[in-house]
Each structure stands twice: as C-alpha cells, then as structure tokens.
Chain A
Amino acid sequence: MLDRPLAPPPVEVIVAVTQALHREARLLDNEDLDGWLAMLGKDVSYRLELKSRRFRADRSPPLPLGPGVIFNEDLGRLKMRVDRLKSGFVWAEDPPNYIRRAVSNVEVLANQADNEVRVHSVLVMHRNRIDGTTRLLTAGRTDRWRSEGSCWLLASRDIVLDHSVMPDSNLNAFF
C-alpha cells in the first residue's frame, strides 16, 4: 500500500491520456488494427477473466486453476488475432459489421512509476451485425498507460464484462 497519496497527474497528462483513449476507440472502429497495435507497449497485457454469478455470502474457495479467460493476450497473441481478422477468411466480418465504441467515465490517476498513469474507463460497444440485429456490450476497464517519447502506450488493460451470458455469437472485436 502507498505511504501517502500520490499527487494527481498534471492536467496536460490527463488530457493526453484521455485523447489516447478516444483515438484508440476510433482506430478500432475504423478497423485500423495496425494503427491500434502501434498504440500498445511491447510488454502489453490484455486480459478479460471469466466470472460467475454468486451469492454475496458464498464461502466456496477459488477454482483450482482460476476462472479462465476470454482474453489473456500479450502483443504476440494480439497480433495473431489481428492477422486472423486480416486473413480474408473470417466470413463473420465480411461484409463488415457496423461497430462503434463510446469511451466514458475516464479517471486518470497517478501511478508509482513516474512515466505511468492508471486509468479507469467505461466502454460501450455498439455492434450492428451482419444479421441486422444490434448487440450492445458494456465493459469496465482498468489500464496502465506509459509515456514513451512523445506518445502514450497501453501497458496493461484489465477488462470486466457486464454480461453473464455473452449476448453475441462472436467477439471478433477488442475492448
């Protein structure tokens, strides 16, 4: 735990990181996946764990090997997913789905490392699919962003998805 609270990051940092979140969402919406990969740190960790609905008072121990994941990606694995999407073989994405991300509730907080910030945000993903129906996915995200040279790179992202049953037939999309 911290000895004393960290001073809040300078306004310029808050603005720059918030802009990075918006830019990231736009690149993903436009399927500029290489542009998105370029916003990720080399050591990026991108995770979304599975969960179950449990009573508040439930006393059962954690599962032996953990809950399992929807995403547990490093840069290599994210590149592999991007390569698959770009392979021309992913029929579920052709014609393209209409997809739009709204980023909100952004909080930029200081982190121990000087060149890093912690960032909470909410992502709402609107997907109007090939079948004409619309799925709305919401997720909370806790990130670390790191300043490298003139830009901010995503160092880690922990995603919490707000659906106990995935309401869509695929997740060919990044949060």
Chain B
Amino acid sequence: MNDNIADLVDSRTGRQSRSIYASEDIYRQELERIFGRCWLFLVHTSQIPKPGDYFRTFMGEDDVIVIRQKDGSIKAFLNSCTHRGNRICRADRGNARAFTCNYHGWSFSPDGALAGVPLESEAYFGELDRTKFGLIPVTKVAEYKGLVFGCWDANSPSLDDYLGDAKFFLDVWLDAMPGGSALLGETQKMVLGTNWKLPVENVCGDGYHLGWAHAGAMAAVQSMDLTGLSVGNSGVDLDGGLSVAGMNGHMVLSALDGVSGYAFYPDPKPILEYLEANRQTVIDRLGEVRGRQVWGAQVNITIFPNLQLLPGLNWFRVYHPKGPTQIEQWTWAMAENDMPEAVKAQILENQCLTFGLAGLFDNDDGDNLTACTEQSRGWRTAQMDVYTNMALGRSGKREGFPGDIASGLVSEHNQRYFYRRWQEHMMAETWAEVPTYNINSLTDEEAEHA
C-alpha cells in the first residue's frame, strides 16, 4: 500500500490521483492513519459548561461522548456499551447524572465507571468485575484555549506540539480578547455526498472559487472589499492577503486589513465599532501585526485533518467522514465572549444567513464538492489525476509571520501542503515516522516584536 500512496500525491507538482476521493481501501487506511492518529476536535468548552453536561460527536466513524466531570475536567468515551456494544447515548447533547443502556440496563456514571448492572448478584452470581467494564476512554484528551481535542494514539505529540505554529493564528481568535471565545447555537448538520478532503481543501486554500462559485451570494450581501475579490472572478489583489502553510499540516488564509472578515455582513457597522473600540487591547495582547492586520480580517484556519474556523465569517466546522464518498458537515457560529450581546446575536444571525443550512454561500459549495467526488468514481476518471498547481514555487518567508507563505488568498499553495500532510500520515506506520515541521518559525525575539 505504501508504494501506492507515494504515487497518489505529488506535492511538488500539485498532482493528486482521483482515486483518493473514492477508493474504499484508501478510506479504510485514512480511518486508521489519520482519524485514528491525529488530534481531532471534540467540543468547545462553552458547549458543556456544567458538570454532567455532555456532547455527542464522532472521531472518524467512531461515535464518542464528551462529558464535563464534577471536578470541571473533561473526559471522552466511546459511545458504546461494554456489554454487547449498543449505543449508549442517543441524544445530541444534554446534561445527565448517568447513562443507562437501552438493551439490558447497564448504567455508567459520567466518569465512565460501570455503576449499575441489573440482576448482578442473581444472574452474574456476583462474579462480574465491574472495574473491567467501564466505558472505553479516548486515549488522550487535551484543551487549547477552549478547544477540546481527543486522540487515539498514545504516541502522538502533545496537542501543543501538534498545533505548532498554527497557534500563532488560532490565538487571533481564541486569545485576542481576555474573555476568550464561545460557540453559539445548535449544531447545523448537513449530509453531503463528498469525500471529506474536498471541503477541507476548498476552505484551507481555495480563494479562487469565491468570486465564481459564490458570485450570486457576493452580489447579494457584500458590503466591503475583501482583497479585491469580485463577482465573476474579475479581479484580485494578491498583496492583500497571505496563504500560509508548512505548519505541521495546518493551513491559514488571511487577509491583512483588519476589517474584511465582516465584508459579507449586509450591515457590518456594530461589529466594526466593536473592533475599533478594542483594537488597542488586542495590539497590546498580540502585537502590531496580528492586532492591526489580522484581527478582524477574514482568516480561514484549518487544523489538520478536519477542523476549520473562520474568524470574520465566524463559522466553526468539522467534517465527519461517513465512507469514502459521504460526510456529515457540522457547523456552529463563534463569538468572542467580550462582544456585546447584540454583536453576538448579529454574528449568529449572519453566520446562519451566509454559511448555515440555507446559507447564501454554503449552498453554492455542496454540489461542486459532490460532483468532484462523483467524477472520481468512474472506471476512467478513477485512473486520472487532478492538479492544484497554481503559483507553484512562489512562496517563502514573510516578515512577522511563521510558515511558508504565498501571496494572496488566490493560490493553491495551501492545498499542496494539505495533500503533502495527508501523504505523510498515510505512508507512516507510526507517529514516529510522521515528520514535524514549522517552517520559518518566529524566534522568541521576533514573536515579541510581531
């Protein structure tokens, strides 16, 4: 299989074999080597604030339940009964003192312990060792500034090292203001007939599609400039933004104007006032570059493999794979806790309008991703390649930023790094074989002056 994987992607030329979007064998290997190995987003701490609060999610195709403990810590378990394997929790979220299985009535406490077994003394003759039948915990759970991740691989790097220099950009959302961040509203779930990599690729680097695929939505709601991108792909200002990659497989697109994140709000005024009122605070916390140029600008952050958050448009999303050609896409709105309530409400409203289930923009993407997947399933198309070869070899260091950086939001630089990372994981037998790299990492001194 490894020889084969080496052939499937060439990140120097930007080539991908279309089989990676439809093959069942490759998908099985992804579940093991990507979803079974990487740190995966589970929940935002704001979604389970109180002891007993729980949230159901997926790690790859494994159903997982994440629970706030009495001591405030967070644990995660397979949502599967240790008796005969039944699903234990069938709700999306809630608060519970115990989880009782429907099948024979075993019940588990929020810390995963097997707390009750019907007919324990009569039918098991008191011989069941309950301590051996607690819920199966997710191997590692860790938090970075409100984002809770889980990982199945005991040999993975720490979450901190895994995120690497992507934290430089994550902090622009998670730590710009002292109050931190929160996710808003219920989960917006949609099933799409696409391979999971295509939506990740689309958001991690593809500014190219914006002016074309979303022309109708842009015409409807755009109120400010975003790096010159325009309806019908008739213009672009490559100096206005950055495509940042080479950070352990994480990627960022960032405009540099400090306001364009809110370009797709019909009425951005209240948010612009919030930005200006707090600009100095953020500069004091994060420095000039991030405080003035990045905070408030449109930023697309991708945490490998399946988490994307977009400060500005303010949506936060994970893609759960459901076979090689299907996903569930889960979206929330996100806000800074220091925002006035009216601004938070406007953000939730506008996220639903633009990237919700009837989102003016989001409704443009699904059919394209689905069709790219379908066109990889034919006898002939499965043998063919596709390319992300725009602006090859035009990247380097940029003053004040970590990463290998190409100019502009329109480039296929980030996609090439995404597929490179995918290949690195797929070829590695263990974590030890997966390379770590944070290209052009800022020195402490640079970071201080940034």
Contacts and interface: CB of A to CB of B under 8 A. Distances in A.
B358 A92 contact: no
A81 B92 CA distance: 31
27 contacts: A51-B186, A52-B92, A52-B186, A54-B94, A58-B91, A58-B96, A60-B95, A65-B341, A68-B188, A71-B358, A72-B349, A80-B221, A81-B360, A83-B220, A84-B216, A84-B220, A85-B216, A87-B215, A87-B219, A89-B215, A89-B231, A92-B366, A131-B193, A166-B191, A169-B193, A170-B358, A172-B363
A165 B349 CA distance: 20
A169 B341 CA distance: 31
A69 interface: yes
Interface string B330-344: 000100000001001
Contacts of A171: 357-358, 363
Given A165-B191, A166-B191, 11 more contacts: A55-B96, A68-B186, A68-B351, A88-B216, A89-B216, A89-B219, A89-B231, A169-B192, A169-B366, A170-B363, A170-B367
Contact of A169 (B91, B93, B220, B370): B370
Interface string B313-340: 0000000000000001000010000000
B185 A67 contact: yes
Nearest to A77: B353
Which of B219, B357, B367 lies at the interface centre, i.e. has the most chain A CB atoms within 10 A of its CB?
B357
Interface in B199-234: 213, 215-217, 219-221, 231-232
A171 B360 CA distance: 9
Nearest to A171: B358
A51 B187 CA distance: 8
A82 B219 CA distance: 12
A151 interface: no
A165 B190 contact: yes
Contacts of B351: 68
- Range of interface residues on chain B? 35 or more
Interface of A: 48, 50-55, 58-60, 63-72, 77, 80-81, 83-85, 87-92, 129-131, 164-172
Given A165-B190, A167-B191, A170-B366, A53 B92 contact: yes
Contacts, number: 143
B371 interface: yes
Contacts of B328: 165
A165 B96 CA distance: 23
Given A68-B352, A81-B360, A89-B216, A63 B191 contact: no
A59 B185 contact: no
Contacts of A80: 220-221, 266
A113 B182 CA distance: 42
Instruction: Give the residue among A55, A67, A130 with the most B Cβ atoms within 10 A.
Output: A55
B364 A92 contact: yes
B352 A69 contact: yes
B258 interface: no
A164 B92 CA distance: 10
B360 A84 contact: yes
Chain A's interface: helix, strand, loop or mixed, by majority?
A: loop
B367 A130 contact: yes
Contacts of B91: 52-55, 58
Q: Which of A50, A60, A130, A169 has the most CB of B within 10 A?
A: A169
A92 B367 CA distance: 7
A172 B352 CA distance: 14
Nearest to B220: A84
A63 B94 CA distance: 11
Nearest to B56: A53
B356 interface: yes
Contacts of A58: 91, 94-96
The 6 closest A-B pairs by CB, nearest first: A169-B366, A68-B185, A170-B363, A89-B216, A171-B358, A89-B215
A72 B190 CA distance: 19
A59 B95 contact: yes
A88 B351 CA distance: 24
B30 interface: no
A77 B360 CA distance: 11
Contacts of B364: 90-92, 170
Nearest to A135: B191
B323 to A, nearest CB: 15
B345 interface: yes
Contacts of B94: 54-55, 58-60
Contacts of A92: 363-364, 366-367
A81 B182 CA distance: 29
B356 A70 contact: yes
Contacts of B377: none
A85 B364 CA distance: 11
Nearest to A59: B95
A66 B344 CA distance: 11
Contacts of B53: 60
